[in-house]
């Protein structure tokens, strides 16, 4: 049975959600403060005096988004969470390469991986690889898959910055579904599978990914490669998929059968109040 359980990310030394409202959020990544659009923030700003301190603001003009620089911002700058170190950057699609709502899942995964003996971990749609770094640091051998060379290079930078051995992570530039199907044919098994599929994307060779068409097939192939060993786990996130947590949970139950786990929304809590910003969904279960 997959039970409902929401997860809330709280501030840490290198990250805090300072304020939100008027369809915007104000965040501190290390020493850099950024203002970004947030469609969920339907409420009023609580600390309007803080917004003038932003180094950069992402704004849309004629349907095209861009960063408006108000103060000097490095091309990239280092942050940390626990023992993991990683680089933040202002990207052209408003993200920074860091998704702080995932902190509870990083902690959950690290605790379970550390109890397994040299597990094989698959991080699919791995993006900038913070989950890969966290897994490698607690003893896993990680296969990190992404269809973007730029994202793969960024993740590799984060691993080097964290002091992760080159022998601890295998970097794969490939279409996620094509890779998993090959692994299933090979009979490969993973003790841990982590994925964050987009709503739409393209593979390394131009393959088209549409979550409404391909998610079920991906789950079917992932079932074949997830180990039956006790303690093995499966974790899927949906940052921009547009679905409710229960939709993901029931898709997983229909593929994997009876499992014990949790699903719900991911929230980020403001540093000076109990308000939260919804930031995606997740489903996870353990063998």
Residue 183 lies in domain: 2-7+96-286
Q: Is residue 150 situated within a structural domain? A: yes
Does the pTM surpass 0.85? The reply is yes
Instruction: Mark the ranges of the chain whose per-residue pLDDT is less than 50.
Output: none
Instruction: Decide if 78 is inside a domain.
Output: no
Number of domains in the chain: 1
Give the per-residue pLDDT at 240: 64
Contact 192, 121 (CB under 8 A): yes
pLDDT value at residue 209: 67
| Secondary structure (H, E, C), 108-163 | HHHHHHCCCCCCEEEEECCCCCHHHHHHHHCCCEEEEEECCHHHHHHHHHHHHHCC
Identify whether 145 is part of a domain.
Answer: yes
Per residue in 118-173, pLDDT (tens digit) is 999 999 999 999 999 999 999 999 999 999 999 999 999 999 999 999 999 999 99
Long-range CB contacts for residues 223-228, cutoff 8 Å, separation at least 24: 223/255, 223/256, 224/184, 225/122, 225/180, 225/183, 225/184, 225/188, 225/189, 225/190, 225/193, 226/189, 226/190, 226/193, 226/256, 226/287, 227/120, 227/189, 227/190, 227/191, 227/287, 228/287
| Residue with tokens 């994202």, as numbered in its chain | 151
Please report the pLDDT score of residue 273 as a whole number.
Answer: 95
Residue 19, in any domain of the structure: no
Q: Are strands 233-238 and 200-202 parallel, antiparallel or unpaired?
A: unpaired
Residues near 255 by Cβ (< 8 Å), separated by ≥ 6?
Answer: 216, 219, 220, 222, 223
Comparing C-alpha atoms, which of 131, 84, 86, 85 is closest to residue 112?
A: 131
- Note whether residue 85 is domain-resident: no
Q: Does residue 146 lie in a domain region?
A: yes
According to the model, what pLDDT value does residue 171 have?
98
CATH number of the domain bearing residue 149? 3.40.50.150
Has residue 60 been placed in a domain? no
Residue 44 lies in a domain: no
């Amino acid at each position: 049975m997959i039970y409902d359980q929401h997860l809330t990310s709280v501030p840490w030394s290198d990250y805090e959600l300072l304020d939100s409202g008027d369809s915007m959020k104000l965040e501190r990544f290390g020493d850099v403060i950024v203002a970004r659009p947030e469609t969920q923030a339907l409420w009023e700003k609580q600390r309007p005096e803080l917004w003038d301190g932003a180094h950069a603001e992402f704004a849309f003009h004629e349907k095209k988004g861009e960063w408006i620089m108000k103060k000097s911002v490095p091309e990239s700058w280092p942050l940390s969470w626990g023992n993991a170190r990683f680089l933040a950057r202002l990207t052209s699609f408003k993200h920074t390469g860091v998704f702080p709502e995932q902190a509870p899942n990083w902690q959950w995964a690290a605790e379970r991986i550390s109890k397994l003996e040299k597990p094989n971990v698959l991080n699919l749609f791995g993006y900038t690889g913070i989950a890969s770094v966290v897994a490698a640091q607690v003893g896993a051998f990680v296969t990190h898959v992404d269809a973007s060379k730029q994202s793969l290079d960024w993740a590799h930078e984060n691993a080097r910055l964290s002091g992760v051995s080159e022998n601890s992570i295998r970097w794969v530039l490939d279409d996620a579904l094509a890779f998993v199907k090959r692994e299933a044919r090979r009979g490969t098994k993973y003790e841990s599978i982590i994925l964050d599929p987009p709503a739409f994307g393209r593979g390394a060779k131009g393959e088209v990914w549409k979550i409404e068409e391909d998610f079920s097939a991906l789950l079917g192939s992932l079932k074949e490669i997830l180990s039956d060993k006790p303690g093995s786990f499966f974790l899927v996130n949906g940052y921009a998929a547009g679905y409710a947590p229960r939709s993901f949970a029931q898709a997983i139950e229909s593929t994997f059968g009876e499992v014990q786990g949790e699903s719900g929304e991911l929230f980020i809590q403001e540093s000076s109040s109990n308000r939260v910003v919804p930031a995606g969904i997740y489903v996870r279960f353990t063998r």
